[in-house]
Amino acid sequence: MTYDVDVIRRDFPILERNVHGKPLVYLDNAATTQKPRSVIDRLVHYYEHENANIHRGLHTLAEEATAAYEASRLKVGEFINAEHPGQEIIFTRNTTESINLVANAWGRKNLKPGDEIVFSAMEHHSNLIPWQLIALATGARLRFIELDESGHLRRDDALAKIGERTKIVAITQMSNVLGTINPVKELAQLAHRAGAVVLVDGAQSVPHMPVDVRDIDCDFLAFSAHKMLGPTGVGVLYGKRDLLEVMDPFLGGGEMIKRVTFESSTYADLPHKFEAGTPNIADVIAFAPAIDYLQALGMDAVREHERDLTQYAIDALERVEGVTVYGPKDATERGGAVTFNYGDLHPHDLSQVLDAEGVAIRAGHHCAQPLMRELGVVATARASFYVYNRTDEVDALIDALGAADRIFGNASTARAAAR
């Protein structure tokens, strides 16, 4: 049921380039993914043939641009199985802005001193700082669900922390550091039973596995186009219609109003109430072919491909002496962000040596400093995979670790023994 990776690689022009004279091995997909030709062409087509502002002009270009923008909205909504795609999908700049929107527009209205916001110890700063800010503004209290040693959420702690004071549970579906896939459907049930709402950070899950908002029964879902073959500058906030309708706007300005006087205004209907000003028209439109591309592959096949590749990578890394892999080791329980350290070599040094070999990985705290502290490290290296990666690229990573060992003498026995 999987697809032919060699065939689809031809759709990604950037994969043909060399870096430092070596073929590019792009393993930084959790940060952002590469774009297929269809997405790049759609952007160019828009600017060459359709460029106009939307929702206001009555001329042909404006009507065509508006139709294409709204068609993207419907496609995104259908992709995650929203019940009312035309109203429940809000375009933002990224996952970060989507979460800030909820923290502000929902949080300010619904949180008061004594209320609790529950998240987990593996959240990205994007799903942490907005809640810290809103807790400061409202007097609400922050609580986080702890992890067990294998990098899963502790179920007993979730049961203990989600209770009658909980007003919102904001949780990532897939960790960008540990790869862990969290049981968001079960957490949503727990939260709803306690009378709380649920926000799922889908930045790492929506690109990599089938995600169905009605099946999960989440109230909000946030994700970014750029992590799923689409352009940068486009985020999505899904919200249940009933909730969005009673929320106040996040940003005020043009296009989000019905009637304005000097003293007050009434707001536009959904989703425009939350899309103030000229949006990122071209990139929203070019997001549609990215979704077409993923749908043509099939999200089950995307998941299957990455699961196999992730297992191959974890097994290969663990065979290299001196490597520590963090998070679950069984790829059926996790996604394809594989975080590791190599002896006492600083991940930044490692990343630089790997780059000289053409291998692009991420090094640092991955916007998850509290989690780094839990792991007892200041930084890690991370290889992360997507639809176009192959096992020979994992082999290249392992070989490049050998190069790092030769330069730094880090783990003298570390060899590309993985194959």
Ligand X SMILES: Cc1ncc(COP(=O)(O)O)c(C=O)c1O
Phi first, then psi: what are they for 326, rounded to 5°? -100, 150
Closest distance of CB 322 from ligand X, Å = 27
Query: One-letter amino acid identity for 128?
Result: L
- Is 218 labeled as catalytic in the residue annotation? no
The correct pick among 34, 72, 100, 126 for binding ligand X (CB under 6 A) is 126
User: According to the binding rule CB under 6 A, does residue 87 interact with ligand X?
Assistant: no
List the beta bridge partners of residue 221: 200, 238
Residues 218-277 that bind ligand X (CB under 6 A): 224
Number of residues that bind ligand X (CB under 6 A): 13
Q: Please answer whether residues 282 and 51 qualify as being in contact, where contact means their C-beta atoms are separated by less than 8 angstroms.
A: yes
Choosing from 229, 282, 338, 367, which is the catalytic residue? 367
The correct pick among 34, 95, 310, 389 for binding ligand X (CB under 6 A) is 95
Q: Which one of the spans 122-130, 209-217, 371-379, 387-395 is the region binding ligand X (CB under 6 A)?
A: 122-130
Residues 181-210 that bind ligand X (CB under 6 A): 201, 203-204
Residues 29-68 that bind ligand X (CB under 6 A): 30
Q: Which strand (E) or helix (H) includes residue 310?
A: helix 299-318
The correct pick among 96, 138, 339, 410 for binding ligand X (CB under 6 A) is 96
Phi first, then psi: what are they for 374, rounded to 5°? -60, -35
Question: Strand, coil or helix: what is 239?
Answer: strand
Q: Which residues make Cβ contacts (< 8 Å) with residue 58, sequence separation at least 6?
A: none
Q: Spell out, one character per residue from 208 to 227, where the chain touches ligand X: x when CB under 6 A holds, - when not.
A: ----------------x---
The pair of three-digit structure tokens given for residue 297, joined into one six-digit string = 């592959």
Question: Strand, coil or helix: what is 362?
Answer: strand
CA neighbor of 199 nearest in space, from 106, 75, 303: 106
Q: Which one of the spans 88-96, 268-276, 354-362, 378-386 is the region binding ligand X (CB under 6 A)?
A: 88-96
Tokens 């087509």, located at residue: 45
The pair of three-digit structure tokens given for residue 82, joined into one six-digit string = 């929203």
Closest distance of CB 31 from ligand X, Å = 6
Contacts with ligand X by CB under 6 A lie at 30, 94-96, 124, 126-127, 172, 176, 201, 203-204, 224
